Chain A
Amino acid sequence: MDLKNIVLISFGYFGKELSEIISRDVEHEFSLPVILQEGHWDLSEFYNPLRRQYDANRLLDKIDESFATINSKTIGLFNVDLFIPILTYIFGQAYLNGRCGIASVYRLSNERYGIINDDQILVNRFRKEVIHELGHTFGLIHCTNTTCVMRSSTYVEDIDQKKHFLCHKCRSVLEKNHLSQD
Chain B
Amino acid sequence: MAKKISILIVDDEESVRDSLFNWFVEDGYRVECAENAKKGLAILESESFDIVLADIKMPGMDGLEMLRRIKAIRKESIVIMMTAFATVDTAVQALKDGAFDYITKPFDPDDLSHLIRNASKQISLIEENEILKEKVISLENVEDMVGESEAMQQVLKEIESVAQSNASVIITGESGTGKELVARAIHANSSRRFFPMVSVHCGSLTESLLESELFGHEKGAFTGAIYNRKGRFEMADSGTIFLDEIATISPKMQVELLRVLESKSFVRVGGNKEITSDFRVICATNRDLKTMVEKGTFREDLYYRLNVVNITVPPLRERIKDIPLLVEYFIRKYCTAMNKPLITIEPTALKRIEEFPFPGNIRELENMIERAIVVGNGKKITLKDLPLGKTAVQTTTESLDELEKNHIYQILLRYNWNISATAKALKVDRVTLYNKIRKYDLKQIE
User: Which chain B residue shows the least CB distance to A97?
Assistant: B25
Across the interface, B18 reaches (CB within 8 A) one of A57, A87, A89, A136, namely: A57
Chain B proximity of A162: nearest CB distance (Å): 15
Across the interface, A96 reaches (CB within 8 A) one of B25, B105, B112, namely: B25
Across the interface, B19 reaches (CB within 8 A) one of A85, A136, A142, A155, namely: A85
- Of residues A87, A136, A142, A154, which shows the largest number of chain B Cβ atoms within 10 Å of its Cβ? A87
- Of residues B15, B16, B19, B20, which shows the largest number of chain A Cβ atoms within 10 Å of its Cβ? B19
Chain B proximity of A28: nearest CB distance (Å): 23
Across the interface, A86 reaches (CB within 8 A) one of B1, B16, B27, namely: B16
B89 within 8 A of A: no
Provide the residues of chain A in CB contact with B13, threshold 8 Å.
Answer: 85
A86:B107 contact, CB within 8 angstroms:
yes
The CA of A29 and the CA of B321, in the complex, are separated in Å by 75
The CA of A25 and the CA of B334, in the complex, are separated in Å by 68
Report the tally of A-B residue pairs with Cβ distances under 8 A: 57
B22:A88 contact, CB within 8 angstroms:
no
Taking A142-B27, A152-B27 as contacts, is the C-beta distance between A87 and B22 under 8 angstroms? no
B110:A86 contact, CB within 8 angstroms:
no
User: Which chain B residue shows the least CB distance to A51?
Assistant: B106
A138 within 8 A of B: no
Provide the residues of chain A in CB contact with B18, threshold 8 Å.
Answer: 57
Taking A85-B16, A142-B27 as contacts, is the C-beta distance between A93 and B106 under 8 angstroms? no
A57:B28 contact, CB within 8 angstroms:
no
Tally chain A residues at the interface, Cβ within 8 Å: 19
A31 within 8 A of B: no
The CA of A142 and the CA of B19, in the complex, are separated in Å by 16
A57:B15 contact, CB within 8 angstroms:
yes
A87:B109 contact, CB within 8 angstroms:
yes
Chain B residues touching A, majority SS: helix
Chain B proximity of A56: nearest CB distance (Å): 9
User: Which chain B residue shows the least CB distance to A56?
Assistant: B19
The CA of A142 and the CA of B109, in the complex, are separated in Å by 14
User: Which chain A residue shows the least CB distance to B27?
Assistant: A142
B105:A142 contact, CB within 8 angstroms:
no
Chain B proximity of A82: nearest CB distance (Å): 11
The CA of A57 and the CA of B18, in the complex, are separated in Å by 9
Provide the residues of chain B in CB contact with A96, threshold 8 Å.
Answer: 22, 25-26
Across the interface, A136 reaches (CB within 8 A) one of B26, B108, B113, namely: B26
Taking A83-B106, A85-B106, A88-B106 as contacts, is the C-beta distance between A152 and B26 under 8 angstroms? yes
B25:A86 contact, CB within 8 angstroms:
no
Provide the residues of chain B in CB contact with A90, threshold 8 Å.
Answer: 109
The CA of A88 and the CA of B109, in the complex, are separated in Å by 7
Chain A proximity of B31: nearest CB distance (Å): 11
B19:A86 contact, CB within 8 angstroms:
yes
- Of residues A85, A90, A96, A142, which shows the largest number of chain B Cβ atoms within 10 Å of its Cβ? A85
**Which residues of B, 82-139, contact A by the 8 Å Cβ criterion?**
105-110, 112-113
Provide the residues of chain A in CB contact with B358, threshold 8 Å.
Answer: none
Taking A57-B18, A155-B110 as contacts, is the C-beta distance between A144 and B23 under 8 angstroms? no
A141 within 8 A of B: yes
| A94-125 interface bits toward B, Cβ cutoff 8 Å, 1 = contact, 0 = none | 00100000000000000000000000000000
**Which residues of A, 122-164, contact B by the 8 Å Cβ criterion?**
136, 141-142, 144, 152, 154-155
The CA of A88 and the CA of B111, in the complex, are separated in Å by 10
The CA of A152 and the CA of B22, in the complex, are separated in Å by 13
A84 within 8 A of B: yes
| A59-99 interface bits toward B, Cβ cutoff 8 Å, 1 = contact, 0 = none | 00000000000000000000000011111111001001000
A–B pairs, 22, beta carbons within 8 Å: A51-B106, A85-B105, A86-B19, A86-B23, A86-B107, A87-B106, A87-B107, A88-B107, A88-B108, A89-B109, A90-B109, A93-B22, A96-B26, A141-B27, A142-B26, A142-B28, A152-B113, A154-B108, A154-B109, A154-B110, A154-B113, A155-B110
Which 8 A-B pairs have CB atoms at the shortest separation, nearest pair first? A154-B110, A154-B109, A84-B19, A86-B19, A85-B15, A141-B28, A142-B27, A88-B106
Binding site for B on A (CB under 8 A): 51, 57, 83-90, 93, 96, 136, 141-142, 144, 152, 154-155
